[in-house]
Structure 1
Amino acid sequence: MNNLSKLSFKFFLACLSITILYACSTQKDNPTNRGLQNLSARYNYIYNSNVLLDTYQDDLSQTYQDKFDEFLSVYIAPTTADFMTTTAPVGNVKSLDEITQKAQMIIAEKGLSNYVDEAYMLLAKTNFYKGSYFTATEYFDYTAKAYQKDKKVYLAAMTWKARSLMQLNNYELAAKVLDTVKITLDSVKNEKAEPLATLAQMSIYQGKYKNAIGYLEQAIKETNKMDSRTRWPYILAQLYEREKEYPASVGYYTKVENSNAPFEMYFNAKLSKIRIYDLLNHQSYNRNQALLKLLKDDKNFDYTDQIYYEVAEDYFGDNNFAKAEEYYKISAKNSTRNQYQKGLSYLRLAELNFKNLGNYVSAKLYYDSAATTLPKTYPGYESILRISQNLEYLTQRYQLIAEQDTLQMIARLPQQAREKRINEIFEPKVIPNANIKANNREVKNDDPDKTQKNGTFYFNNISAVSRGFTDFKKRWGNRPLEDNWRQSIKSSQQVNQQNQANVIDNNQGAGNGQSVNEGISVKVAAYTAKLPLTADLLQKSDQQIIDAYFEIAAFYQQVLGDEKEAIKVYETLLARYPQNNHLDAIYYSLYLDYKDTYPAKSESFKNLVLAKFPGSVYAKTILDPNFSAKQNALDAEVNKVYNTVFADYEKKNFTSVINAVNETNARFPGNSLQAQYDYLKAIAIGRTQNVDSLLLAFNNILFKYPNDQLINPLVKDHLKYIDENIAVFKARKIALIDFDPTEPRFIAQQNTVAVQKPQPIKTEPAIPVVQPAIVEPKKEIIANNPPVNNPVQQAPVQANPINEPAKQAVADNLFSKAESNIYYYVIAVNDMSLSVSSSRFGVGQFNRGNYSGTGLKHQLQELQEDQLIYVGNFNTLSEVKTYSEGITSQLTRIMKVPTSTYKGFYITKENFDKIKNRETLNRYLEFFKVNH
């Protein structure tokens, strides 16, 4: 019986095992299999994955660096290292990979379980936290569509999809997804906190702060997470402060202060409360005291920089700029671990020096430091970078204004006072030689053993100093005594800064008791000659100031996109010079700038344009909004016709040229190229008629276009040559007989040409005049003009110890920043189908009119997709820069191709030779943009 019982039991176990194995087959859909898959999926995969994800989120929240000067993010989402100052710990990425594996296992082997939807959500979230937002969006979208009937899963998937889209800056699509979230909210009883929080975040992005407040208050009631119960109230406090509902804001800050919030959040809540109490009570002095008391608490040691920053902000609000600057500097100095706060301090110092103190050299340095310290995600970072890179343009014009104001002030003084004031400017500061020797004797007469006795102080120990100097040379070599001595390659602004300091040091004189009076009389005479002592000179000085203000305002408006600053400068110009030659453009610009903020003022400036300048392009644009488009079409047609006329010119069909120009001037009177049309006609007359007819045509050009900067210099050059050789020309039946189609110049080549270096020429301002067609600010970088020599310039201040320049060097090994003895100016045309013959002719006109005798040549190099017109040779960088500045303002008239098809830049011969195709050209353009 026992044996039979054992045999029966074994048989039963075998059958049971077979049954279990059969039931566990992933291919079999039955209750047993589903139950076992649910069991293993839930406890072996889902539970562990959620634990890992919660741990990852906790670690991320502890390492995430919040920016308390902005609205905190409602939820924490990491981004790539290029755009974040902090990222998730590298070790935690492994946990995300582990979650991914578990989720994939459920989908692959537990397809009959009830947890496949959670597996897809886990896959989507791991991609979200890795920063793969496109992939995350696809996973969330699939989950929402596949499980649309499960409202809880559907709501969660759509919520996270909206978050992913917001991380991709696709706010329009995210808003549509959130519209669905709002509709679905009522169908779910629990788990509404995250959807509400996401709606709040979108409302903040959209600037709908009251909506954000409502969503967050509901979310706080729904959430059971401790970190959300501290983070979200802080954001509510910020929102209420933004809406100036200060009692509610103080209440939420107090709630955060009394919670178990992280210390940094607690500290910033305390700072914010002090700020709000100041606003409510108007007691700035007490606020400063309350802030400085925080320094006595050791717990606040790591936040010293923020405390000093708040004190500086307070002084700034009271217009005490000296104190504000002092405390901003202290804040920057004490920012040892918080680079973001250091960047804010540098930015405020930059703005303070530029806008309030007028110290533009220091402002440039501080902007550079802010650009290198603040993250690229900082609001307005692009504007900071543009200001940093273009501040020299503004600085030169502000310095010009200061110089002319100083010259006018001195010119108004009586003669004796004037002479005394000029002598004070150039009076050298001499350290008496006797004092130096006396000091040296005092050192030498000291006890020779004194250095050993006082050897505790390093610099009193000669042998120690000597050893240190030797060790320094071994490690660093011979380095000049200057700022940023560690840098072997310095940025352009650092080089300019050092050069300025050297010039100032040289002007101030050297010691050794020797006077530097040798050149003083020459400098005084030169400075006196610049004084506007006559009405004509005073008018020219005023015009320089007017032009400088106008260019500054246009630069703010078109390049930096800062309408507020543009308005200030335009208003300053009008206050100082109510009658000036830019009134039509100024009125129109103010009409545009005030349109959204001050409609009544906008209307008044509009009426001024229509009343005082009814025939201007600005008035026509106001009356006909399509005028600009029509004008652009007209200019395009004028260019097209010019190319046709120029083709006849090249073929020597001079009679056709004359007839075509007459027809074009009648068809398009007053067109932008009329001076160039008349020049072609004049040359055609010279090729078919005598010199008297040619002289008449040239003199008509000078009479009709007295201010033309492209054709006038060329015509004057021609007239000068004809006058010098009038007998030869009078003897000819046809004036021009030496026409060369490859180099269209009518005069005979001179026997000896003294090659001179290109000199700065007087051209129209490099800043583009405000055009009616351009309502949005232009984004291009404007070339800098040559600096103004100001004899009363202050020594530049070294603003910061940061060694990196604001413009990060492009990591491109193809091109070199090394200097050269050959430079080219290049105009790249990105369309091979366009004829550039007439454009090359325009470049030649510019060169002969402004650089006659320099030997400059313009040539064409064709790539597979681009045409390069290059001008050379220039021997130094300064020469090619000067040329670039002069031709830039004329390019729209020189180039007879669409503006969008060409770009101008300068380049070394070595780099030019490396440009072989479109790819290398684009690489150099990017290299040029950053490094020049």
Structure 2
Amino acid sequence: MKTPTKAILLLILTVFLALSCSRKKDKFINRNFHALTAEFNALYNGYNALEEGRQALNDAYFDNYWEVLPIERMQVFEDVVLPGQSKNESFSRAEEKAVKAIQKHSMNIDGKERNPQMDEAYLLLGKARYFDQRFVPALEALNYILYKYPASDKINQAKVWREKANIRLDNNELAIENLKRLLKQEDLKGQDLADASSILAQAFLNTKVIDTAITQLEIAATATKNNDERGRYRFIQGQLYNQLGYKDSANIAFDKVIDLNRRTPRIYLITAHLEKIKNFDFENGDKLEVTELLTELEENRENRPYLDKIYHQIGAYHLQNGSDSLAVAYYNKSLRTDTRDKLLKAKSYETLGDMNFDASVYAKAGHYYDSTMSNLVLNSKPYRVIKRKRDNLEDVIYYEAIAKANDSILRLVNLPESDRLAYFESFVEDLKIKAEEEKEKLEAANRNSGLATIGSPGGVQVNRGGNQEESTIFYFYNPTTLSYGKNEFNRYWGDRPLEDDWRWSSKGATNNVNTNTNVSIADIASDEERFDPQFYISKIPSAEKEIDSISKDRNYAYYQLGLIYKEKFKEYNLAKSKFQDLLKSNPEERLILPSKYNLYKIYELLGENSEAAIAKNEIIDAYPDSRYATILKNPELITDRDENSPESLYEALYIQHENQEYADVISKSEEYIKTFDGDAMVPKFELLKATASGRLYGFEAYKKGVNYLAITYANTPEGKQAQNIESNILPKLENKAFVKASDSIPENYKVVFQFKNAPKETISGFKETLDEVLGNVKYYKLSASVDVYGPDTKFVVIHGIKTEQVAQTFNQLLTEEDQYKINTPYFVVSSTNYRIIQIHKNLDDYLNIDNN
């Protein structure tokens, strides 16, 4: 009997379940069966996936505390997501569960949903799409709740999430309107009120209505039961008060964050303390109290993850308090924490750079600015500001490096033999100590890691110690030895690009100038040579010509530094010392007079009138016919731009260049280059001379002039322009092969009359006649010009002919009377080939081709 009874009960249960599974019957059993199944199966798993994804978002998100924090911790990416793809698998899984719940458990009977869990399913669907940054589909799901389930207990949540999606779509005004209506019509309590108020605050922030945003954040912070959210809202309030300039109100908001203590994330607590310290009143505040607070924050073990921010703020406090050395120490401590906050790094490097700049240590400031730029977004506004600062230091860093290196060499040249030997013996001892220390560090690191050592053949060592499993580690798979190798390479060679011939000195990074010549030689020496003092002594220049060259380079660097400090940075004392050092160093004659004149101007600017009078008399007595003496003797007759100034002469010469007086431009440029040697205008004259040489003598002359300018004046704007021409333009001009006519490529053609050694009057007369004749030509709009080809040859060129056939039969365009006026031989050339002829001066090669 038992078996039939069980079978009957099983059959009844099966029938019951089958009947309750139907989604078409509006029965108590059916509704509750599908409601329970949806809630505790699909929706439960979906919300777990949503929470997992949300937690991953929070963990990956990095708040930028240098700006006002967003209300919600979510980074919106601009990446395009194709249909069927997802930015986060957890949100994709949550969406799948929501869709599954809707598809399998929805009970839409007679246009009305009978399953009370479906509003929850659509809310989950909207949230999953929102966090997956698909805001339009999220709006669709949330709007469906508002349309289909107006009596749902989730209706207020749906409205809030809809406005969150609107805000992400930049519909801030619409979100404000809808949220205001919601708060007015509904008596929201608890978390619903907190969510609505906080998102309304975000909309006001986006529209720059800061005071109203603060009010809404106050409501949200009071209503929420989540202390994480409360701490964030209070902290943002403090930031907004600071933005408005209300420091007292900001400090009250930060105090409320601090009062939460362990109940809120520690990052809010620490940053609130630091923000309060930024608001400290240095004139009336208690500095001892602030110092004690900073010390407590620094020494608290719980604050170790935030030492980067703490050290930075301590440095800022000491800097503002006038303790520069302490500030530098703490900024460096902050940088050594290897912080994830790139903006913090950038601000630390920038501050250190500014401190060195203010102390006139420009080379070091330049290196700090380099590090600043490496931690900023490329081409952002802060990046461009720092880049401008760094570019201004380019020349001073370059010339300071030359001056320092050459001074070191010349000091060694002038040392007695015994002093040289003692110097390099001491130097070698230091090298040995450093090498031993490096060796010990490497051995200790390898002992601790139990991995491969550099000493093992091929960088491989078998570990057989203790009970550890035998293993063979390739050198480049060992992080310890690999890191050591990288550091050693950078120490020896600097930052080298990955290319052929990387060992050449010219391949080194331009912003890592090694000014210590001895260390540079030690880096490339063999092990035997590296610890031999005589090896270094043998490298000291001994030839008089070589020593003179080093001395000249050093003196020119002094002169350029003097000009830079005087004109660009207004550092008159620094400029004075450079010019004075130059005049003591037996400089070339060309540098003496401009150096003395610049010293005279500096003495005047510094109010050292007696020194200025001495310098003035020296110039007038020793160089009575110079331009400088004329200026000093008759200052009332000289304007800032007198006709003999380099600027005025350059402008006049440029006009001659435009008029194709190339030979005159070349000779005068050479004269002015000698006259104004050392002046900032000299590179401009060199560039004008190179261009005129190219126009008159062709490609090779232009190439030679540009190359000289690029090497000799490498750090001037003209030198950099020449480097660009050499790299990017000359290769395109190098091809001298003539181009054949092609039907697919339309060409203009020119009719060219050649005049060799012809008087200027003959050419101008022919040009006037030609202009008159061309005016009589029908159907064609033609013009003529006179072009210089070479020192003795000029062209009269007719422009405006579109086809080769018309150009070849040019005579037939003229009237019979005009044909008698123009009886000079001519040749026809395409515009492209005419350009090649002018660039390479290869007219004979062209005429030898059967083109005409």
The structure having more radius of gyration, on CA atoms, is 2
Paired amino acid for 1:104: V
Q: 2:697, 2:230 → 1: CA distance? A: 89
1:817-842 superposed Cα distances (whole Å, 9 cap, x missing partner): x989963499xxxxxxx99989xxxx
The answer to whether the Cα contact below 8 Å between 1:192 and 1:219 also exists between their aligned partners in 2 is: yes
Query: 1:225 corresponds to which residue?
Result: 226
Query: 1:429 corresponds to which residue?
Result: 411
Paired amino acid for 1:122: L
Query: 1:755 corresponds to which residue?
Result: 701
Query: 1:98 corresponds to which residue?
Result: 93
Q: 1:263, 1:319 → 2: CA distance? A: 30
1:369 aligns with 2:377: no
TM-score with structure 1 length normalisation?
0.49
Q: 2:102, 2:833 → 1: CA distance? A: 63
Query: 1:588 corresponds to which residue?
Result: none
1:70 aligns with 2:67: yes
More helix by share: 2
1:313-341 superposed Cα distances (whole Å, 9 cap, x missing partner): 22443566665444323321233555553
Query: 1:299 corresponds to which residue?
Result: 302
Cα distance change on mapping 1:426 and 1:213 into 2, 3 Å: same
333, 337, 350: which is aligned to 1:334? 337
819, 823, 826: which is aligned to 2:731? 823
Paired amino acid for 1:714: E
Shift of 1:717: 2.1
Query: 1:37 corresponds to which residue?
Result: 34
Cα distance change on mapping 1:372 and 1:232 into 2, 3 Å: same
Cα distance change on mapping 1:392 and 1:295 into 2, 3 Å: closer
1:488 aligns with 2:396: no
1:384 aligns with 2:411: no
1:900-929 superposed Cα distances (whole Å, 9 cap, x missing partner): xxxxxxxxxxxxxxxxxxxxxxxxxxxxxx
1:772-795 superposed Cα distances (whole Å, 9 cap, x missing partner): xxxxxxxxxxx992469xxxxxxx
Q: In the TM superposition, what are the counterparts of 1:647-726 in structure 2 within 5 Å?
A: 707=651, 712-717=656-661
Q: 2:788, 2:299 → 1: CA distance? A: 71
Paired amino acid for 1:438: A
Paired amino acid for 1:823: P
Query: 2:118 corresponds to which residue?
Result: 116
Query: 1:877 corresponds to which residue?
Result: none
Shift of 1:196: 0.9
Root mean square deviation, CA, Å: 6.3
Query: 2:128 corresponds to which residue?
Result: 126
Cα distance change on mapping 1:13 and 1:394 into 2, 3 Å: same
Cα distance change on mapping 1:785 and 1:53 into 2, 3 Å: same
Query: 1:209 corresponds to which residue?
Result: 210
The answer to whether the Cα contact below 8 Å between 1:364 and 1:388 also exists between their aligned partners in 2 is: no
Shift of 1:126: 1.8
1:286-335 superposed Cα distances (whole Å, 9 cap, x missing partner): 53453234333333333332222112222443566665444323321233
Shift of 1:181: 1.6
Q: 2:593, 2:518 → 1: CA distance? A: 20
Q: 2:442, 2:338 → 1: CA distance? A: 36
- Can you give the 5+ residue segments of structure 1 that lack an aligned partner in the other structure? 84-90, 404-420, 543-578, 582-703, 724-746, 764-782, 789-817, 827-833, 839-844, 854-867, 874-932
Cα distance change on mapping 1:456 and 1:717 into 2, 3 Å: closer
Q: Which has the higher contact order (CA 8 A, sep 6+)?
A: 1
1:810-861 superposed Cα distances (whole Å, 9 cap, x missing partner): xxxxxxxx989963499xxxxxxx99989xxxxxx9xx999999xxxxxxxx
TM-score with structure 2 length normalisation?
0.52
782, 785, 810: which is aligned to 2:717? 785
1:180 aligns with 2:181: no
Cα distance change on mapping 1:498 and 1:256 into 2, 3 Å: closer
Paired amino acid for 1:715: N
Paired amino acid for 1:525: E
Shift of 1:370: 3.5
Choose 242-251 or 177-186, whichever is displaced more.
242-251
Q: Tell me the matched-pair count.
A: 569
Shift of 1:37: 2.1
Secondary structure of residue in 2 paired with 1:109:
helix
Secondary structure of residue in 1 paired with 2:24:
coil
Paired amino acid for 1:252: A
The answer to whether the Cα contact below 8 Å between 1:434 and 1:513 also exists between their aligned partners in 2 is: no
Shift of 1:211: 1.4
The answer to whether the Cα contact below 8 Å between 1:79 and 1:131 also exists between their aligned partners in 2 is: yes
Q: 1:157, 1:470 → 2: CA distance? A: 68
Choose 435-444 or 383-392, whichever is displaced more.
435-444
The answer to whether the Cα contact below 8 Å between 2:221 and 2:233 also exists between their aligned partners in 1 is: yes
Shift of 1:212: 1.7
Q: 2:267, 2:236 → 1: CA distance? A: 14
Shift of 1:426: 10
Q: Percent identity?
A: 19
Q: 2:657, 2:290 → 1: CA distance? A: 65
Q: In the TM superposition, what are the counterparts of 1:247-258 in structure 2 within 5 Å?
A: 247-258=248-259
1:239-297 superposed Cα distances (whole Å, 9 cap, x missing partner): 33444444443333333223222222222223333444446843456534532343333
Q: 2:56, 2:28 → 1: CA distance? A: 40
591, 603, 611: which is aligned to 1:528? 591
The answer to whether the Cα contact below 8 Å between 2:235 and 2:253 also exists between their aligned partners in 1 is: yes
269, 286, 290: which is aligned to 1:287? 290
Paired amino acid for 1:196: S
Cα distance change on mapping 1:496 and 1:388 into 2, 3 Å: farther
Cα distance change on mapping 1:6 and 1:42 into 2, 3 Å: same
Q: 2:253, 2:665 → 1: CA distance? A: 83
Q: 2:833, 2:134 → 1: CA distance? A: 45
Query: 1:797 corresponds to which residue?
Result: none
The answer to whether the Cα contact below 8 Å between 1:213 and 1:236 also exists between their aligned partners in 2 is: yes
Cα distance change on mapping 1:48 and 1:505 into 2, 3 Å: closer
Secondary structure of residue in 1 paired with 2:659:
helix
Paired amino acid for 1:159: V
The answer to whether the Cα contact below 8 Å between 2:412 and 2:420 also exists between their aligned partners in 1 is: no
Shift of 1:194: 1.0
Choose 99-108 or 711-720, whichever is displaced more.
711-720
The answer to whether the Cα contact below 8 Å between 2:167 and 2:175 also exists between their aligned partners in 1 is: no
Cα distance change on mapping 1:534 and 1:32 into 2, 3 Å: same
